[in-house]
Structure 1
Amino acid sequence: MTDGPVAQLRLVLETEDLDAALAFYRDVLGLRELEAYDGDGGARVVILEVPTATIELSNSAQIAYIDAVEVGRPVAHPYAPTVRVAFEVPDAAAATARLAAGGAEVVADPVETPWRSLNARLEAPGGMQITVFEELGPA
């Protein structure tokens, strides 16, 4: 718990294939399942835990810059404003291979960024674009 006014951040990802998304985020990416609920009319939710989270606010010029660095070209964003989830991992290359084997589509292989991280872009089952990044240390 925190002493501040906000105790938790939940990023809600809507997907038409909850089982595929759950298998990817929980079983392949390795997020821990905290809770799961079923409701009327086939409603289902599974809450997964990430040990720490931040909110990164970026303007459209920064998003275009990140796309250019990570992918090498503009990326179509089907939703406005765009949402991309980034996960810090100890080994970006190994994580990219593991996630691709687990059903993600590699949009761009790991690339070293100007801010000294190794970033890869993938599209997870369910259509969410994600970044896995490995911090490389100070410039």
Structure 2
Amino acid sequence: MTDKRVRQLRLVVEAEDYDAAVAFYRDVLGMPEQAAYEGADAARVMILDAGRATLEIANPAQKRMIDEVEVGRQVAPRLRVAFEVDDAAARTREATAAGATEIAPPTVTPWQSLNSRLQAPADLQITLFQELAGE
């Protein structure tokens, strides 16, 4: 039996335009709201369900290689968020229509996924990926 000391990965992101970020991640990407809280001085937070979470730790060479495969050049900041989606091409179109900026269109990777790279609300660089193996 595995000793699971960590039960959940929660990425906390500060968003200057809170409403736009919520609309993008909740409504466009379809991440259901788990909870929302308001506090003093107009403090607001919403917790969205992102499905299963993993922490991907890559050394600098791997980060450069992923940038080369997905984008063709070095563009990623130190932190990038990747979301597995059902249809990377359709979700990319929806995301760009909702205000994300496409850095690179959906591209088939050597590890058999279809990945797009976007600059999204809350100043996050994101990858939308669809696993192709088994399709």
TM-score normalised by L of structure 2: 0.93
- Alpha-carbon distance in structure 2 between the residues aligned to 1:121 and 1:68: 11
Shift of 1:99: 0.7
Report what 1:30 is aligned to.
30
- Alpha-carbon distance in structure 2 between the residues aligned to 1:104 and 1:36: 24
Q: Does 1:97 align with 2:96?
A: no
Report what 1:54 is aligned to.
54
- Provide structure 1 residue ranges, at least 5 long, that are not aligned to the other structure: none
Output the amino acid matched with 2:26.
R
Report what 1:17 is aligned to.
17
Query: Are the aligned partners of 2:108 and 2:115 in contact in 1 as well (CA < 8 Å)?
Result: yes
CA RMSD of aligned residues (A): 1.5
Deviations 1:83-108 (A, max 9, x none): 11111111111110011111111110
Output the amino acid matched with 1:36.
A
Report what 1:64 is aligned to.
64
The 3 A distance-change label for structure 1 pair 108 and 56 is: same
Shift of 1:9: 1.1
- Alpha-carbon distance in structure 2 between the residues aligned to 1:7 and 1:76: 28
Partner SS state of residue 126, structure 1: helix
Shift of 1:113: 0.6
- Alpha-carbon distance in structure 2 between the residues aligned to 1:62 and 1:131: 15
Partner SS state of residue 83, structure 1: coil
Query: Are the aligned partners of 2:76 and 2:125 in contact in 1 as well (CA < 8 Å)?
Result: no
Match among 110, 116, 121 for residue 120 of structure 1: 116
Aligned length: 133
Shift of 1:3: 6.2
The 3 A distance-change label for structure 1 pair 112 and 76 is: closer
Find runs of 4+ consecutive structure 1 residues off by over 6 angstroms.
none
The 3 A distance-change label for structure 1 pair 30 and 76 is: closer
TM-score normalised by L of structure 1: 0.90
Shift of 1:76: 5.4
Report what 1:106 is aligned to.
102
Match among 68, 84, 96 for residue 80 of structure 2: 84
Question: Higher mean Cα deviation, 22-31 or 3-12?
Answer: 3-12
- Alpha-carbon distance in structure 2 between the residues aligned to 1:3 and 1:34: 26
